[in-house]
Amino acid sequence: QEPGSPAESQFRLAAGRIPEVPFGLSTSPAVLSHYGAAANTVTLFRRVDNDRRDLDMNNKDVDAEKMTRFVRMNELRLVTEYNPVTAIGVMQSSLQLHLLLLTDKMSPKHPERMRRYRAAAELFKGKVLFILVDSNLNSNERIVSFFKLTKSQLPALAIFHAPDEEQDVLTLDEVSVERVQDFCNRFLQ
What is the set of domains in the chain, with CATH numbers? 6-74 (3.40.30.10), 80-188 (3.40.30.10)
pTM score, whole prediction: 0.78
Confidence band for 1, pLDDT divided at 50, 70 and 90: low
Is the model more confident about 84 or about 168? 168
Does 163 score more than 80 pLDDT? yes
Where is average pLDDT lowest: 2-11, 76-85, 104-113, 115-124? Answer: 2-11
Chain segment 76-102, per-residue pLDDT in tens: 888 999 988 888 888 888 889 999 999
Plot region of 4 (φ>0 → left; ψ -120 to 50 → alpha; else → beta): left
Read off the pLDDT of each residue in 152-177 and give the average, rounded to a whole number: 93
- Write down the pLDDT at residue 82: 93
